[in-house]
Amino acid sequence: MITKTILVVDDDKRLRELVKAYLTQEGFRVLTAADGQEALYVARYERPDLVILDLMMPVLDGYGFMRAYKKERETPIILLTAKVDESDKVLGLELGADDYVTKPFSLRELTARVRAVLRRTGRESSMADILRGADVVLDRERRIVTVCGRRVDLTPSEFELLAALIGSPGRAFSRLDLLERLQGTAFEGYERTVDVHVRNLRLKIEPDPANPRYIETVFGVGYRFAEPITETGQTDD
């Protein structure tokens, strides 16, 4: 089952961290942004399955985000609003929001709303077998990988290795971790096998294999898939 990606957008750092921690514990992959402008960048890059969106934010508020992003993708949105005026909620729904939660709210309730919206929009039941990272797209069901829209042919071991890495960007996998993911394919029982697969994988997907952009070496540990970088130069944490 592929982890669903949730983008949490709120200018309250403490709230972002609380929601991220709770949803991560519930099995979601969670990205964050501090305002609507940063959220647009992250959403266009990562294509989340659902956005949890505060309405009142600096730079670009929730309304502005929805007006811009809904022209590009039909991603489900749950609004976070401290406002009690019904007209504000109605405007959000008219702009394309799927649900709203009024602050303060229960993290348990928010998670239930997330699951309900994903089910209603057909995104939880299907658990789309598409993994994306930077310019790399991996389609599990069709066993296809593309880089910048160009199809790349991988061996079964290379495919499974890339799926493990791209499915958890930023996570440092040991060679042993990755070997366990390769069981059932062209598996060999020693850790240096991973180095060979990674080298071949880089030759196929990296613009410059000598200076990898996607698959990073974690010295003394193993490998990781690079995390997305925001416009401020920070990762989504």
What's the CA gap between 127 and 208, in Å, rounded? 33
**Residue 49: closest CA among 142, 148, 110, 130:** 130
Report the top-level CATH class of 130-225: mainly alpha
**Distance, CA of 223 to CA of 221 (rounded, Å):** 7
**Which residue spans of the chain are classified as CATH 3.40.50.2300?**
5-126
Q: Is residue 214 within a helix (H) or strand (E), and if so which, with residue range?
A: none
Q: Residue 106, SS3?
A: coil
Query: Which CATH homologous superfamily contains domain 5-126?
Result: Response regulator (3.40.50.2300)
Give, for all 237 residues of the chain, the pLDDT tens digit: 457 899 999 999 999 999 999 998 888 889 999 999 999 999 988 889 999 999 989 899 999 999 999 888 888 999 998 765 667 767 777 788 888 888 888 999 999 999 888 887 765 544 446 788 888 998 877 788 999 989 999 887 788 889 889 988 888 988 888 877 665 444 444 567 788 889 999 999 999 999 999 999 999 889 999 876 544 445 554
